[in-house]
Structure 1
Amino acid sequence: MRQKVVDITNRPTDSDPIKIAAELNRLEPKKRARTLQQMPTEMIDAVFWQLEPEDQAVVLDNVPHDQVIRLLESMDPDDRVHLFQAMPADLISRLMTQLSPRERHCTELLLAYPKETAGRIMTPEFIRLKPGMTVSDGLAEVRRHRDKAETIYVLPVSDDAMRLVGVVELEDLVLAEPDERIQKLIREPQYSVSAWDDQEVTARLIQAADLFAVPVVEKDNRLVGLVTVDDAMDVLQSEETEDIARAGATEPIGRAYFSVSPVRLVRSRIVWLSLLALAGTLTVNVLSAFETTLEAVVSLALFIPLLIGIGGNTGAQSATTIVRAMATEEIHTGDLLRVLLREGLVGLILGALLGIIAFLVVSVIFDRDIALIVTLTLIIICTLASLVGSSMPLFARIVGVDPAVVSAPVVTTVVDATGLLVYFLIAATVLGL
């Protein structure tokens, strides 16, 4: 089926670059590049910056070379590095040689730091003030270098050796007396991060402390850049997207949905589905082991979907809650025992409440023995599911695995098998089988 190219260049109501970028993401790569080229130059730049790095790379594959260089030159260094991470190494090397010396230097500086570090997302373009400057001198410095800095709202203060002294915000600078010293305007408490700190940790600091930007330092507290709030938001969005994808037993695709081929969508899902299918054989083995029990009391089979459904959902609820709390640093690995006690109690209460309801209903339709089996199973399975769901993400963090990887789908599969085992063991005990 042919895809309609939306003429967004002649629609005055769609002049917002964010809306245009969203519309472009619905087009095929070549049509996306062709549509982008029809726009005015300023709009091209604004829209291009709104695309994800992988989609930017696809656009650059389909536009003239001179436009590629112009777009690269117009980007902030940290955004350019994000784009380069989505490109082949040989292409990056060729493009780097064609950048202006200043932009090439800034880009090489960021690429020198490992991926997922604060150094990779910082901007090396900032306005630096000195402690002995007056407010008047500081404002003059801002005016003189405003076009070269990514942000003017946060102004790091350092000595002659570039050692960080503190931070002054533009608001304080504007409101202060002209002859007042910069040293007296430094804000407390002072925050900074190492260039080798994890990106997510840095982003969480900016979020928690309500910062516009945080200074980045190397050894000896030497100032090398700033991580701004917009980059922090991008990191958090990326991390949350990744967690959501893995919680649903799939790999993040990292691009707009219509920008990804069906083959890539299959690749992002097939591995996890295969692993879960393999793990699901545990449930089959449990059913096979208790085949005699099922034949003796056929009515037991009627409650299997109910029990594994409740157990799986209880475990998934617990896992989702803990993964989220870990992502926001509310829970640490040292809290394992506290979490297990807390979630175990929650699971016990949930199981007891559901068990009471089940006993009243099942005893009316079946006999009391079946009602007792279902009730006891619900109590145990809810407690067990809460313990499994809360412990697996914490154990994953301890061994260095992403907690989202062992969240809802994995927990559900494990609880299904163990829940059935509990169910049949209780049935065999109560019924004397």
Structure 2
Amino acid sequence: MPKGRALAVFERLDAVLQADLLAGLQEADVAEVFAGLSPDDRVALLDELPASVAHRLISGLSEKDRALTSTVLGYPQGAVGRYMSPEFVVTHPSLTVGETLARVRARLDDAESVYTIPVTDAGRHLVGVVSLRDLLRGGGTEPLRRPYLATPVGSIVRARVVWLLVLALGATLIVRVIGLTLLGACTRAAATGGLMPLLGKTVKADPAVFSNPFISTFVDAMGLVIYFLIATSILGL
């Protein structure tokens, strides 16, 4: 079995069974397996091992892993702290969704879980949590908190006034284009609908058979032509 899969299976075993399996491994293999466990799983395993073996395994860890394991070991047995993971991604309310996702990507290799991310203030006090699903659904420039009512009016105006002016000017011109197009298309349709039966009567054809197909095609085509001519003239396309 590949080492990665073996370690994943080993992590799911009960701590007592883990200790029994380690007893049959060589010391180098034991150290490698122990280092690959998460801090809370290491602590659960250490509780089942003799003190001398536990001390030797902790000494063989890297400085970072030893510090994380010691953090969990600092809590008494039965405390919630013994089951927590100190390897997590934390973010700040003022960071954008894109910046927080960048933090998550940078910690994918060492964070035990990134599905729920704590949000802390400047004093590292927990103010909330955000799920990875919400981050992925959010925009890259959207802040994690949305203090819209608390934001000064001047800041809101400065952030939106340019686009509002552009859209307001564009909307005014588009309204003119649509209005004139409807007027021109309706006038052309009425004129065509009135003239075609007279033309059919002149050539001695049934006005109903002669006018219906032609009127439909002609009115649709002329409507598009009128629309593009007016749009080109007003919008300067």
Question: Is TM-score (shorter-chain normalized) higher than 0.5?
Answer: yes
Distance 2:30 2:136 in 1: 39
Structure 1 unmatched ranges of 5 or more = 1-38, 186-433
Match of 1:94 among 33, 56, 65: 56
1:132 aligns with 2:100: no
1:121 deviation in Å? 0.3
Superimposed CA distance per residue, residues 210-250 of structure 1 (whole angstroms, 9 cap, x where no aligned partner): xxxxxxxxxxxxxxxxxxxxxxxxxxxxxxxxxxxxxxxxx
Distance 1:97 1:174 in 2: 40
Distance 2:57 2:77 in 1: 20
Q: Counterpart of 2:109 in 1: which secondary structure?
A: helix
Match of 1:147 among 82, 85, 109: 109
1:43 deviation in Å? 3.0
State the match for 1:352 in structure 2: none
Question: What code does the residue aligned with 2:12 have?
Answer: Q
Q: Counterpart of 2:16 in 1: which secondary structure?
A: helix
Aligned residues: 147
Superimposed CA distance per residue, residues 338-378 of structure 1 (whole angstroms, 9 cap, x where no aligned partner): xxxxxxxxxxxxxxxxxxxxxxxxxxxxxxxxxxxxxxxxx
State the match for 1:156 in structure 2: 118
Distance 2:12 2:135 in 1: 31
Q: Counterpart of 1:115 in 2: which secondary structure?
A: coil
Match of 1:123 among 81, 85, 102: 85
1:395-410 equivalent positions in 2, closer than 5 A:
none
Superimposed CA distance per residue, residues 256-311 of structure 1 (whole angstroms, 9 cap, x where no aligned partner): xxxxxxxxxxxxxxxxxxxxxxxxxxxxxxxxxxxxxxxxxxxxxxxxxxxxxxxx
1:42 deviation in Å? 2.5
Distance 1:40 1:172 in 2: 35
Distance 1:123 1:44 in 2: 21
Q: 1:184 to 1:169 in 2, by over 3 A?
A: farther
Match of 2:46 among 84, 104, 107: 84
1:41 deviation in Å? 1.9
Q: 1:85 to 1:177 in 2, by over 3 A?
A: same
Question: What code does the residue aligned with 2:101 have?
Answer: L
Larger Rg: 2
1:43 aligns with 2:5: yes
1:103 deviation in Å? 1.0
Match of 2:130 among 168, 177, 181: 168
Normalised to the residue count of structure 1, the TM-score between the two structures is 0.33
Structure 2 unmatched ranges of 5 or more = 148-237
1:47 deviation in Å? 2.3
1:161 deviation in Å? 2.5
Distance 1:40 1:119 in 2: 32
State the match for 1:62 in structure 2: 24
Distance 2:3 2:95 in 1: 40
Normalised to the residue count of structure 2, the TM-score between the two structures is 0.59
Question: What code does the residue aligned with 1:119 have?
Answer: G
Question: What code does the residue aligned with 1:167 have?
Answer: V
Question: What code does the residue aligned with 2:95 have?
Answer: M
Identity of aligned pairs, percent? 38
Distance 1:40 1:150 in 2: 21
Question: What code does the residue aligned with 1:53 have?
Answer: A
Q: Counterpart of 1:173 in 2: which secondary structure?
A: helix
State the match for 1:182 in structure 2: 144
1:46 deviation in Å? 2.3
Match of 2:72 among 110, 113, 120: 110
C-alpha RMSD over aligned residues: 1.4
